[in-house]
Amino acid sequence: MTVLITGGTGQVGFELQRTLAVFGDIVAPTPEELDLADASAVERFLEQTHPTIVVNAAAYTAVDKAEEEPELAQALNADLPAQLANYCARQSAWLVHYSTDYVYDGAGESFRTEDHPVNPLSVYGKTKLAGDNAIEASGAQHFIFRTSWVYGARGHNFVKTMLRLGESKSELNVVNDQIGAPTTARLIAQVTSQALAQRNAANIGLYHLVCRETCNWQGFAQAIFQQASELGKALAITPQAVAGIPTSDYPTPAKRPLNSRLIVSKLEETFKLKLPTWQSQLQQVLEEMQSYGVL
C-alpha cells in the first residue's frame, strides 16, 4: 500500500510522515520534485505512484498574500483537492484533506457545528471552501478535517514568533478579539491516523479537529511566555506585559474571522477519542522544542 502525502515538508506534513508509516510506503514529494500547481505533473505523479491513500496537507496558507495571488490560491486550495478527489473516486482510494476555520465568517459568539452555514471573508477562505466542496461532490471516500490556529515544534508559526519577540521585547500588543483553539500539527496527524484505522463507508465526511477549550491570541501569547519561562527559557517579557488590542488596530489585507469556536463532539463520538486541551498541547510542543535545543 502506498500513502501519498502532499505538503510533506510543512508542519502537518512532517508529523504525518512519521505517524502514517504504519499504513504503507510513504511518498512525500518536495516542491522541487512535484509542482502541485501543475495539474499535468500531478496527474503523471498519481499514475506513477498509484497511491491507495492520499493525504493532502498542501495548501496556499499565506492568508494576506492570497488577496494578491488569487489564481495560485485557487490552484492549490481548490483545484488540487478537486484533482486528488477525482483520482480517489476513480481508483477507490481514500482521501484525507485539511480545511480551515476561515470558511466561517466569525459572526457572533456561538460554537459552530460542521453543518453551520459557511461564509468566508477572504480569498484564502473562499478557495479553501471551494476545495472542500469539490471533494464532497466527487464521490471519493474521504475525511475532511477542519482545524484552526495550527502550530508545531517545527516550521514557522505563532509560537515561534512570540518566543523570538519575547527574547528582546519587554512589551507586546497582541489581538484579543479573535477567539479560537490553538491546535498542534502532531495532534492533527495522530487523529488522522486513528481515523484512517477506522475508515469505512459509514464515517466518510467532514469533521472539526481542534483542541478543546478556546482563547484569544493575547491569552495564547501569555500562556506561551508563562510555560516557556517555567521551562527555563530566558525572556525579556512577562505574560502580564502582553497587552490586548482589537483586530481593528492591526489591519491586514485579508479579513480574519473573530469567532472560530468549533464543536468537536462529532469527531470524538465517531472515532471514540477525547481531544486534549490546547494548554496541554502547548506544554508538549515547548518540551519538544526544549529537547531539540531550540527553546
Question: 147, 119, 108, 163: which is closest to 290 by C-alpha?
Answer: 163
User: Is the sign of the CA dihedral 70, 71, 72, 78 positive or negative?
Assistant: positive
Q: Residue 73 is placed in which grid cell? A: 490560491
Q: Which of 98, 124, 151, 207 is catalytic?
A: 124
Question: 88, 79, 89, 86: which is closest to 58 by C-alpha?
Answer: 79
Q: Catalytic annotation on 124? A: yes
Question: 256, 147, 258: which is closest to 206 by C-alpha?
Answer: 147
Please list the residues that pair with 180 across neighbouring strands.
Answer: 215
Residues annotated as catalytic are 124
